Chain A
Amino acid sequence: MTESTLNASIAGKRQAQGARTRAWRPELPGWLAALMSAPIGLCFLALVFYPMVKLVIESFGTGNLDAYWSAMTDPVKLRALGTTLWVSAAVMVVSLILAFVIAWSLRTSKSVLLRSALWVGLLMPMAMSAVVQNYVWIVILGRNGVLNSLLNSVGLPSIGLLYTPGAVIVAMVYTLLPFAVFPLVVTFSTIPNRVLQAAESLGAGWLTTMRTVVLPLSVPGLFITGVLVFVLSLGFYVTPIIMGGPRATFLAKVIQDDLMMRFDRPGASATSVIMMVVALGIVALAIRVVGRERFERALG
């Protein structure tokens, strides 16, 4: 504010002195700003808001609530909603535990080897497309895969994990782990060393420090990260289809079948709308609880 008034007063003085300068404002003029953001604004209208509106319109396609009625009563669709919700919740919990440990190790560990191993490990999922990641998990979890071979070699029986919700959870956690770690790294960086030293000097052991100092201070960060992971896993398409196998009941699978096999656009749209409402509802709730700025910071 002071800056702009200063600029304005300088400009004013110059004009008063008759210097040959134009009067100018430090901010971009409104029309220029509008012009600069018009292209992406139009794209957002056409490719973000219109699709959302279109889904809602399409879900009432036959002029009634049939599609929603079927989504709420069809046992397959209900089961798919249930599976998708609990799998997302499981992904959230597992990701939070792993991300907490990784982020805290990055914050406190002095070992260069450990830190680089963790960073490289986080870059790996980012470098692999979801389809490639799923391929690897098929290789690992398959009947004659890596995991079962290792189990057998130490005399344990094989486990049939592939094409179960468990396999979907493992693969999703792998994809989402970097997204869970980065916001927590930011959260932990706001806990000053002095606080930890104070706890230790007052006689708190490792567990007490974690439980009474670190955990309470990182509750907002954990909450936002959890919400983000949960919402992102709700929308997964590729992973439930590939890792869940042909008989899996996930919302993604129900939508795919409705759209590509039964050509039931109202049905697919209604399921999509339900998915969208759940996700955006949770985001809105989270923003109410922790504030928009904190939430945005978790995104990047």
Chain B
Amino acid sequence: MTEQLTKNRWDTVGQATFRVIQILAIIFCIAPALIVLLYSFYEDVFINFPPVRPGLGLYENLFTQKRWLDAIWVSFLICIPAALLTVLLVVPAAIALERAKIRNRDALEFTALIPMLIPTTAYAVGVYIIYLEAGLVGNYWGIIFTESIVAAPASFLIVRAALRRLPHNLDQVAMSLGASRLKALLDVTVRLLIPAMAVSTLFAFIHAFNDATFIVFLAGPGTATVAKTIFDALAYAIEPKVAALSGVFMLFVMLLVVVGQIVRRKTQPR
């Protein structure tokens, strides 16, 4: 009733504008993904709309051409160790930061987030120059370490959130019942963190898999991940073949993201 009385013309205009932006936003977010999928099922040489030659040739290329097969292999060779390394480095440090008496806890916690805040280009140039002098450009372990440190802040935030939600004194209970410090840590704290560790491994993997900036600088000429192969294809020539790849990898990563979100929701009720 009151709504009817006070609703004036400007409210209608405002709400209409809001609606229009809302619809544009949804189209803006979803259309690109649909277009990738659409184009992956066509074999057009040039980018036209609408595409005219349907076929699965691109997918066939993807799984038969040595260049893409190698790229997929290299991607996994780098991203799986990088994801595991991230968690291996982050989890003990996150537990230590949360559960020990530390004077500058706030400052240290903020330090953990710094890699997120340095502009990516500048950061990549810095690492590149160091690797250049150390002869590490193109070295797998060099790439793996950088990728895992770059993914560390996000992983730290996930693990810290999980740690803060754990009942605070479970490990203390375990110790008061006679468990050693190590046993309490591994059998109680770490075990309860397993879902968070799984989520953060997944996100670190996605991060490394999708990264093109660091890999472009650090990989050197001989090493090409999927993202770098696509970058090279786009920066120097436009290859429609890329579309097929995009389709496959978008579905692949989408699946990982959804699994990650589900695990996160299921295991960390707010």
Which residues of A come within 8 Å of B, CB atoms? 3, 7, 10, 24, 26-30, 32-34, 36-37, 39-41, 43-44, 47-48, 50-52, 54-55, 58, 97-98, 101-102, 104-105, 114, 117-118, 120-140, 142, 144-146, 148-150, 174, 177, 200-201, 203-208, 210, 231, 234-238, 241-242, 251-252, 255, 259, 265, 268-269, 272-273, 275-276, 279-280, 283, 292, 296, 299-300
Considering the chains assembled together, what is the distance between the CA atoms of A36 and B91 in angstroms?
Answer: 9
Residues of B within 8 A of A50 (CB): 126, 130
When the two chains form their complex, are residues B234 and A242 in contact, meaning their CB atoms are under 8 A apart?
A: yes
When the two chains form their complex, are residues A200 and B234 in contact, meaning their CB atoms are under 8 A apart?
A: no
When the two chains form their complex, are residues A105 and B130 in contact, meaning their CB atoms are under 8 A apart?
A: no
Residues of B within 8 A of A133 (CB): 32
Given A39-B89, A135-B243, check contact A236 B21 (CB 8 Å): no
With most chain A CB atoms within 10 A of its CB, the pick from B92, B161, B238 is: B92
20 A-B contacts (beta carbon < 8 Å): A28-B100, A33-B99, A43-B148, A44-B149, A47-B149, A51-B127, A118-B29, A121-B25, A128-B246, A139-B243, A177-B28, A206-B14, A237-B121, A252-B121, A255-B125, A265-B129, A269-B125, A272-B119, A280-B118, A300-B161
When the two chains form their complex, are residues B253 and A32 in contact, meaning their CB atoms are under 8 A apart?
A: no
When the two chains form their complex, are residues A101 and B90 in contact, meaning their CB atoms are under 8 A apart?
A: no
| Given A30-B100, A36-B92, A40-B93, 5 extra CB contacts under 8 A | A37-B96, A124-B33, A136-B246, A207-B14, A276-B119
| Proximity string of chain B (115-128) to chain A, C-beta cutoff 8 Å, 1 when within and 0 when not | 11111111111111
Considering the chains assembled together, what is the distance between the CA atoms of A145 and B32 in angstroms?
Answer: 12
Q: What is the number of residues of chain B that contact chain A, defined by CB distance less than 8 Å?
A: 107
Closest 5 CB pairs of A and B: A235-B119, A51-B126, A121-B29, A33-B100, A129-B210
Considering the chains assembled together, what is the distance between the CA atoms of A237 and B228 in angstroms?
Answer: 13
Q: Decide yes or no whether B59 CB sits under 8 A from chain A.
A: no
Q: Decide yes or no whether B140 CB sits under 8 A from chain A.
A: no
Chain B 124-140 interface residues, beta-carbon cutoff 8 Å to A: 124-130
Residues of B within 8 A of A29 (CB): 100
Residues of A within 8 A of B121 (CB): 235-237, 251-252, 255, 272, 275
Given A101, A231, A242, which contacts B235 in the complex, CB threshold below 8 Å? A242
Considering the chains assembled together, what is the distance between the CA atoms of A25 and B160 in angstroms?
Answer: 22
Residues of A within 8 A of B10 (CB): 205, 207
When the two chains form their complex, are residues A127 and B250 in contact, meaning their CB atoms are under 8 A apart?
A: yes
Shortest Cβ distance from residue A248 to the other chain B in the assembled complex, whole angstroms? 12
When the two chains form their complex, are residues A237 and B120 in contact, meaning their CB atoms are under 8 A apart?
A: yes
Q: Decide yes or no whether B157 CB sits under 8 A from chain A.
A: yes
Residues of A within 8 A of B102 (CB): 30, 33
Considering the chains assembled together, what is the distance between the CA atoms of A210 and B14 in angstroms?
Answer: 9
Shortest Cβ distance from residue B263 to the other chain A in the assembled complex, whole angstroms? 15
When the two chains form their complex, are residues B47 and A296 in contact, meaning their CB atoms are under 8 A apart?
A: no
Shortest Cβ distance from residue B13 to the other chain A in the assembled complex, whole angstroms? 8
Given A104, A140, A144, A200, which contacts B46 in the complex, CB threshold below 8 Å? A144
When the two chains form their complex, are residues A280 and B90 in contact, meaning their CB atoms are under 8 A apart?
A: no
When the two chains form their complex, are residues A128 and B253 in contact, meaning their CB atoms are under 8 A apart?
A: yes
Given A101-B22, A300-B154, A300-B157, check contact A55 B122 (CB 8 Å): yes
Given A98-B28, A203-B6, A207-B10, check contact A32 B96 (CB 8 Å): yes
When the two chains form their complex, are residues B153 and A299 in contact, meaning their CB atoms are under 8 A apart?
A: yes
Residues of A within 8 A of B33 (CB): 124, 127-128, 136
When the two chains form their complex, are residues A300 and B158 in contact, meaning their CB atoms are under 8 A apart?
A: yes
When the two chains form their complex, are residues B116 and A299 in contact, meaning their CB atoms are under 8 A apart?
A: yes
Residues of B within 8 A of A237 (CB): 120-121, 124, 212-213, 216
